[in-house]
Structure 1
Amino acid sequence: MTDSTAPVTPPAEDGATLLDDIERHHRRFNVFPSEAAYVAVVLWGAHTHLMDAFEATPRLAFLSPEPGSGKTRALEIIETLAPRPMTTVDISPSALFRSVSAEASRPTILFDEIDTVFGAAASGNEELRGLINAGYRRTGGIFRSVRDGENHVVQKFPVYAALALAGLGDLPDTIMSRSIVIRMRRRAPNEKVDHFRQRTNEPEGHALRDRLAAWADTVREQIDGAWPEMPDGVTDRPADVWEPLLAVADAAGGHWPARARAACIELVNAAKANDKGSVGIRLLADLRTVFDGAERLTSVTVIERLTAMDDAPWADLDGRPLNTRALSRMLGEYVTAANQPIRPRNIKIGTAVAKGYYASDLADAWLRYCPPNPETPATNATSATAQVRALFPVAAEVAVAATDPHPGATGQAPTSAALASLTTTG
C-alpha cells in the first residue's frame, strides 16, 4: 500500500519536446527568415540558462535594412524566456559594466536599436564595444584601478554575460565575428502572426522559462566541459560561437542535434557571404580580379581597372578616387612571401620604365586573406601566374613568388597609352 501523503516526483522533462514548445512560442509571434534562424534562436535562449557551462557566449544579432522587420518583437519574446532579462535601448559603458560584473545576479542583456550606438551616425563608442567583446568569453574581464586603503590596486572585474542585439544595418566587425546573425525582413502579406499581448502572453513565456531553467539543472553536468562535434568546415571563431548551441542540442536529443548542425552550416555560410571584410581585404580581392592571370600590371592600369569596377568603392573613397599613392600605402600594410612589404616595382616597357605590381608579390596575401578562387587554372604563363589562377593549392608554390627577380632599368617615361595597354608583357 502506497503512502498517499508522499510527495510526487514530477516526470523528467524531455529536452527535445521542451525546445519544440519554445520554437512554437517563437513562431506564434515572429516570422524569421529561415528554419535555421528558428533553431539558432531557440538554442541561444536555452544556452542563457547554462552560462557557466561554456567558455564563451555568442552574441545574437537581429539585423535588417529597414525598420518594422520584427527585431524588437524577437527581443520581447526572448525577454520572456531568458533568466534575469535586462532590456535597454541606451546604456552607458559604466552602467553595463556594473550590471554584469556581479556574477550572482548576472542579467541577460537585450539591446535594442543598437544602430544608434554603432551606426553610421554614431560616434564609435569604442569603450562600449570593448566591453561587449570582453564579455564574450568567460575568462574575459575589465581591469580597473580601485582603492585599497592608502593605495590603488588593479583589479579584474568579470563582464561575461549573454547579449542579444537588434538594429538596422551591420555591427562593428569585432562584434559581428562573435555573433549569430539573423537577417530579418518585413513580413509578406501572406505571413501572419499572433499579436503579442504582454498581459496574457508574457506568463506563457515565463512558464516555458521555468521549465527551461529546471531542465538546464538536469543537464548542466553533462554539458559542462562538453566538446560537441562540429560540422565539416566550421572552425576557429565560428566554432567557438556555435559550440554552446550544439552542446545544448546534443543534450536535448531527438531531432535537435541534426537540426542544429544544419543551421550552423547555413548561418555560418551566410555570414561568410555577407562578410564585407576590411577595405584592405576588399582591395586584395578586387586586385585578384583585376589581374585575372596577368603576371604584372602597371599602377596606372591597376587604378583604371579598380575605379571602373561596378559596386566597388575605389571611384569614391571619402570623396575622391583611389590614386597610385593611396594604393601603394594600402598595399604596404601587407607583405610578400619573402616577408617584405608589397611595393610598386619597376616594369620595363621597351626602353621606358613604369611603376607597377607583380602577381608574385601579391600571391601570398591573396592566399592568406582572400576566399578561395573557384576558377580552374588553364594557362601556360609563369609559375607566379599559375599561383594566382589556381589560388596556390600547393603551399610550396607560394615560395616561388619570392624568387621573382626585381627588374630595374632607366629610360624615358612611358606614355599614358603604353601604360594602359601593358598587361602580361613588357
Structure 2
Amino acid sequence: MSAPAQTTAPIDGAALLDEVEAFHRRFNVFPQEAAYVAVTLWDAHAHLLDCFDSTPRLAFLSPEPGSGKSRALEIVETLVPRPMVAVNASAAALFRAVSGPEGRPTILFDEIDTVFGPKAGDNEELRGFLNAGHRRTGVTYRCVGDGGNQTVQAFPSYTAVAVAGLGSLPDTILTRSVIIRMRRRARNEAVEPFRARIHEKEGNTLRDRLAQWAEQAKGVVMGAWPEMPDGVSDRPADVWEGLLSIADAAGGDWPSRARKACVALVEASRATDKGSLGIRLLTDLRDHVLIGIDRLPTVAILDRLNALDDAPWADLNGKPLDNRRLSKMLSEYMTGDNEPIGSRNIRTAGGVLKGFFASDLDDAWARYCPPPKGATSATPLHPRSEPLNL
C-alpha cells in the first residue's frame, strides 16, 4: 500500500504579510504608514503576476541622495521572485530578459534618474518598454534576422518593475506606479544595519514562503474584483486592483489597511501631480486668474499668470509666457460648442482688446482639471461676478 501524499499545511496569509512588513520596518523608514502596506503588498503581487491584467510599478523617489531609496530596493530584492538588478540597462537587454528561457524576472532599476533625469535626455525605447510591460498583453516589437531576411517578432514585456531615483519620472510611468516619496531619516529615526550575508537569507526565507502562499491563494486572487475605495477609479484603480485583491485574500486587517493605504497614496500623488502643462494652465486660469470674472484681456491674463509664485509661466525655456503661446495652448482645448478655445474682442474703457471669456473655458475646466480644493458636489466650479470693468 503506497504512502498517502503529503500536503502542505495552509499558510496564514495575513500573518505572513505581517512578517514581510516587519522585515521592511527593520531596515526602511518610509514617509508614511501607508507606504509599508503598499510595499508589502507589492512584494506579494510579484509572485502572483499571472493573476492580474496589469502590474503597477513601484517607485521610490526623493529630491536628494541619502534618502533610503537604494536600501528599500535592496530589501525588495530579497523578497521577490528572480530579481534582476538593473542600472543603466538597455531596453533591448530588459525585454530579452523578460522573454528569456530562465523565466520572467522582477526588474529592480536603481538610479532611474540617470535614464530619465534632466541630464539624460529622453529615452523613448526604455519608456516604451516600461509602459508596455504594465499590462499582461504588453509586447515589444523588434526586427530579428539578417539583411533582407528580417522578420518582426513580438517580445513579451509584462513583468514587475520597481525603480529608485532622484527627482521624478515621465508622467506615463508615474501614473502606472505606486509612488513612495522618500526622505532622509531624522535623528530620532533608527534602522537596523542591513548585512547582506545575514539578512539576505532571512528575506529569501520570507520570499519562499510568499511563493508558497501565492500557490495557495492564486485561485482566489485570479477571479477577484476587489471593491475600490470611494474616489479611486480609472488609472489609480488599475494600479491598486491587484494589491487589494492580495489584501482580501490574506484577510485579517489587511483588507481595511490596504484600502486606507490606497486612499492615502492616491491622494498624495494627486496633490503633487500638476498634470500636463496644458492642464496646469487651465487650472491656474480657473483658480488664480479668472476667479469671479467672466472675461479678461489677454494682456491682463499674462500679467497675472507670470506673477504667480511656484508656477512655470514666467520662465518657459528662458522666456515668459506670451500671447502667441497662450493662444496656441488654449486652442488645443474645446468650448462647450465644440469649437477651439480662442480669444475674442473685449470692450474696455480704453477701447477693444483681445481676451478670453470664462464661459469658453467651462467645458475644459470640467473635463480636465481636478476639483478646486474644498469643493463639494454642491459647489459651483466657477462662481462669477459681473463683467470686470476695465
Q: Secondary structure at the match of 2:218?
A: helix
| TM-aligned CA distance change 1:357 to 1:12, over 3 Å | same
1:180-238 CA distance string (max 9 Å, x none): 00011111111111110011110001110111101100111111131111111110000
1:316-351 CA distance string (max 9 Å, x none): 111111111111111111111111111111112258
Aligned to 2:222: 224
Q: Could you tell me which amino acid in structure 1 is paired with residue 212 of structure 2?
A: A
1:374-398 CA distance string (max 9 Å, x none): 4679xxxxxxxx76228xxxxxxxx
Structure ranking higher on relative contact order (CA contacts 8 Å, 6+ apart): 2
Q: Distance in 1 between matches of 2:259 and 2:129?
A: 30
Aligned to 2:300: 301
Mapped pair 1:424 → 2:388: yes
Q: Distance in 2 between matches of 1:375 and 1:251?
A: 36
Aligned to 1:42: 40
What are the ranges of 5 or more consecutive residues in structure 1 without an aligned counterpart?
378-385, 391-421
Aligned to 1:107: 105
Q: Distance in 2 between matches of 1:140 and 1:328?
A: 38
Q: Distance in 1 between matches of 2:356 and 2:10?
A: 67
Number of equivalent positions:
384
Larger Rg, first or second structure (1 or 2): 1
Q: Secondary structure at the match of 1:373?
A: coil
Q: Secondary structure at the match of 2:55?
A: coil
Q: Which moved more, 1:175-184 or 1:117-126?
A: 117-126
Q: Distance in 2 between matches of 1:167 and 1:140?
A: 24
What are the ranges of 5 or more consecutive residues in structure 2 without an aligned counterpart?
none
Q: Could you tell me which amino acid in structure 2 is paired with residue 424 of structure 1?
A: L
Aligned to 1:258: 256
Q: Secondary structure at the match of 1:165?
A: strand
Q: Secondary structure at the match of 2:163?
A: strand
Give the % identical residues.
Answer: 62
Aligned to 1:290: 289
1:68-102 CA distance string (max 9 Å, x none): 11110011111111000001211011111111123
RMSD: 2.2
Q: Which moved more, 1:318-327 or 1:296-305?
A: 318-327
Deviation of residue 264 (structure 1)?
Answer: 0.3
Aligned to 1:348: 347
Deviation of residue 144 (structure 1)?
Answer: 2.4
Deviation of residue 7 (structure 1)?
Answer: 7.3
Q: Secondary structure at the match of 1:63?
A: strand
State the TM-score, normalized to the length of structure 2.
0.94
Q: Which moved more, 1:130-139 or 1:277-286?
A: 277-286
Q: Could you tell me which amino acid in structure 2 is paired with residue 118 of structure 1?
A: F
Aligned to 1:180: 178
Q: Distance in 2 between matches of 1:374 and 1:171?
A: 25
Deviation of residue 148 (structure 1)?
Answer: 10
Q: Secondary structure at the match of 2:292?
A: coil
1:346-377 CA distance string (max 9 Å, x none): 11225821100001111111111111124679
Q: Could you tell me which amino acid in structure 1 is paired with residue 182 of structure 2?
A: M
Q: Distance in 2 between matches of 1:317 and 1:351?
A: 30
Q: Residues 362-401 of structure 1: matches in 2 within 5 Å?
A: 362-374=361-373, 388-389=382-383
Q: Distance in 2 between matches of 1:237 and 1:344?
A: 34
The answer to whether the Cα contact below 8 Å between 1:54 and 1:225 also exists between their aligned partners in 2 is no
Q: Distance in 1 between matches of 2:375 and 2:205?
A: 56
Mapped pair 1:14 → 2:12: yes
The answer to whether the Cα contact below 8 Å between 2:96 and 2:155 also exists between their aligned partners in 1 is no
Q: Secondary structure at the match of 2:230?
A: coil
Q: Secondary structure at the match of 1:120?
A: coil
Q: Which moved more, 1:139-148 or 1:335-344?
A: 139-148
Aligned to 2:334: 335
| TM-aligned CA distance change 1:160 to 1:10, over 3 Å | closer
Out of 90, 93, 96, which is 2:91 matched to? 93
Deviation of residue 127 (structure 1)?
Answer: 0.8
Q: Secondary structure at the match of 1:389?
A: coil
State the TM-score, normalized to the length of structure 1.
0.86
Q: Distance in 1 between matches of 2:132 and 2:6?
A: 45
